Copies of this chain bind each other. A is one copy, B any other.
Amino acid sequence: MSTRTFTVGQLAQATGTRAVTIRYYERIGLLPSAARNASGYRVYTAQERDRLRFVRRSRALGFSLEDIRDLLELADHRRSSCAAVDAKITQKLEQVRQSICDMQGLEQELERLSSCCQGGVIEECRIIESLGYEPGDGHRR
C-alpha cells in the first residue's frame, strides 16, 4: 500500500496546479481543509491528489468551479445513478458547440475585415469604416 503524502508544492507539481490555486480551492471549500503537520504545513494524500486531478480535468473541459462542486457531490455518492453526471456533460457539450459556432462567426467577420484592408491610410481604411467609426477631424492636418 502506498502511503505517499504530498506538500502543497508537491501536489501542485503532481497535478499541474499552482500552490496558490490549491489553497484558493481549499478556501472556497472546493477541496476539504487539508491535514497539517507539526509546523502547520498542509499534508495531502494520494486520494486528495486524485480529487484535485478530477477538479483540474473538469476545469480543462470548461466546467466552472460551481459545476465541479456539483460533480464532486455526485461522484461521492457511489450508489446513485450517473444520469445526472451524463446530463452535466451533455449540457456542457451543447455550450461548447454553441461557443464554437459563435467563434466561427467571429472568424468570418475578422476574415472579411482583414481582406478589405488595402494598405492605405486610416482615413480610407475600410476596417475602421466597417466598425462604424468616422473619426473627427482633430488630426486632418
- State the A residues within 8 Å of B (CB): 47, 50-51, 53-54, 57-58, 60-62, 71, 74-83, 85-86, 89-90, 92-93, 96-97, 99-100, 103-104, 106-107, 109-111, 113-114, 117, 119-125, 127-128, 131-141
Q: Which among B53, B93, B123 is the interface contact of A78 at CB below 8 angstroms?
A: B123
In the bound complex, CA of A10 to CA of B16 (Å): 49
Tell me how many chains of this kind the complex includes.
Answer: 2
Minimal Cβ-Cβ distance residue in B for A111: B93
Known: A61-B110, A133-B54. A81 touches B119 (CB 8 A): yes
Determine whether the beta carbon of B85 is less than 8 Å from that of A51: no
List 14 additional A-B contacts (Cβ < 8 Å) besides A75-B135, A79-B122, A89-B117. Answer: A50-B132, A53-B133, A75-B128, A76-B136, A76-B139, A78-B122, A79-B139, A80-B122, A82-B128, A85-B128, A93-B110, A93-B111, A97-B107, A100-B104
Minimal Cβ-Cβ distance residue in B for A125: B82
Cβ–Cβ < 8 Å partners of A124 in chain B: 82
